[in-house]
Structure 1
Amino acid sequence: MKIIHAAVAGTLESGDVMIRIAPADGQEIDLQINSSVEKQFGEAIRATLLQTLRHYGVQGVQLIVDDKGALDCILRARLETLLARAAGLAALPWENAK
């Protein structure tokens, strides 16, 4: 999936997450996480986000995550919404996802 412009999804409410994405030079994923539960769940948050990006074949992006204790299902839902917005899609290609 090609990210063509910057986008934002989510809120800064307790139990939610705000994620911002922007295209970046190269193929690297610049992942910055700021979380109120990073000491306990930082690695799990990172793994969920990177797994979702790999699932949709996303590379060459900067991802800034402000987490307020969101569950994994919320992380994935917000990121999938963000990817559709940033790729200019009305919806994600569920059947054709890598």
Structure 2
Amino acid sequence: MSVSGIVFLSLGGLIFAAWAFQMFALLFAMRRRVAARTGRMFPGVGDSLAGWREFLTAPEHRVTRRRLGLTTLALFAWIALNALALRP
């Protein structure tokens, strides 16, 4: 593998690691908030959907939404560039 291939793959790994960290942190925080609000260890689907609605609409989550959105776009861009680079 060429040096540029290694750098490109490493960049993709870093982007994915950042995205995965942010997403898991978000999911665990949402579950914790919903569980605290409902008083149940494992909230139901309706409660989880309410938690998602809160995350998607509440102003206090704006920075997290933007950061996760930008990381997701960076991951999609990396995937697209990777697909273009691997064309025969």
**Superposition TM-score, scaled by structure 1 size:** 0.28
Higher normalized strand content (fraction of residues) = 1
Higher normalized helix content (fraction of residues) = 2
Greater RCO, CA 8 A, separation 6+ = 1
**Superposition TM-score, scaled by structure 2 size:** 0.30
